[in-house]
Amino acid sequence: MTTIDPQDIAVEEPASCDWSALVDDLNRLLRLKTTPIGMKLFATVAEMEAVPKIRRPKGTIHTTDQVVAQAARLGWTVGITAADLVGAQCGTVIGLQPRDDAWLSGRGMAGVWFGTIEDSAAHQRAMDTVAFGQYEAMAVSPLTSGRLDPPDICLVYATPGQMIILINGLQFTGYRKFEWSVVGESACADSWGRALATGEPSLAIPCFAERRYGGVNDDELLMALPPKYIPRAIAGMKRLAGNGLRYPIPQYGIQQDVRAGMAASYPDRA
């Protein structure tokens, strides 16, 4: 599993969130095409099923990617248990199934995604997952619904250009160098698995399964982050926009004299 520096920058939890206003800011600053959503784990199934207007799978088996997509692509509020998922690879990432010897062996992926059983087992050990035994259920919902208030993490799908502006916003104050992992297949461990397990912003390149089963577009990356980071990112992006550093990023021209363009953000370059 990825090691997190314990000396990271502390971020205070906001007293309350106006989710509609925050999402309006995100959409205005980044022009997102996909609905920002929340994900929340529940200690009991009853707590999950008490969420207003929640949908439950009816005799169907899904990947977690599909469940996430139903919120991000269709605007649904959906709740699941381990029994609704296709197998332990999905359930273990969100703490609904154990990280046991069978799962760690990697037998299900050997010869498919990895050349040897040793490679497959190494992949399983590298994945960030939520500890088993705390939760029985999980739900996802658009942030603007306010039904998971607060969610454990927020999920933002964005193009690379949008994502770097979001990252720049997070770094505008309380700067830190972000270091993220790439496990390859099962990249949900790099996004929601890592963010849930560590409480840290986590960027991922969505994997084959997320794109095949979860409807993730070819040009999308995924940022998973606790809700306390959203106001900070928005505040930073607003300051960047005031400096002329905003999305969409206009192409300046690869053969132009750069001084006039640089002067827009750096007055001493005029």
Residue-range domain boundaries for the chain: 19-249
**pLDDT per residue as tens digits for the range 158-167:** 999 999 999 9
> Burial of 236 by CB count in 10 Å (0-12 exposed, 13-18 middle, 19+ buried)?
buried
Tokens read off for 168: 């720049």
Reported as a single tens digit per residue, the pLDDT across 83-106 is 999 999 999 999 999 999 999 999
pLDDT in tens, 12-44: 555 468 999 999 999 999 999 999 999 999 999
Q: Provide the token pair at 169.
A: 């916003």
Rg (CA), the chain: 20
pLDDT mean by block of 10 residues, the chain; 270 residues: 39 70 98 98 98 97 98 98 97 98 96 97 98 98 97 98 98 97 97 98 98 98 98 98 95 91 81
**Residue 152 confidence (pLDDT):** 98
User: Does the N-terminal peptide bond of residue 14 adopt cis geometry, omega within 30 degrees of 0?
Assistant: no
What 14-21 contacts at long range (C-beta under 8 Å, 24+ apart), as own/partner pairs, is: 14/227, 14/228, 14/231, 17/149, 17/150, 17/227, 17/230, 17/231, 19/143, 19/144, 19/145, 19/146, 19/149, 20/144, 20/146
Q: Which two tokens stand for residue 233?
A: 């990112």
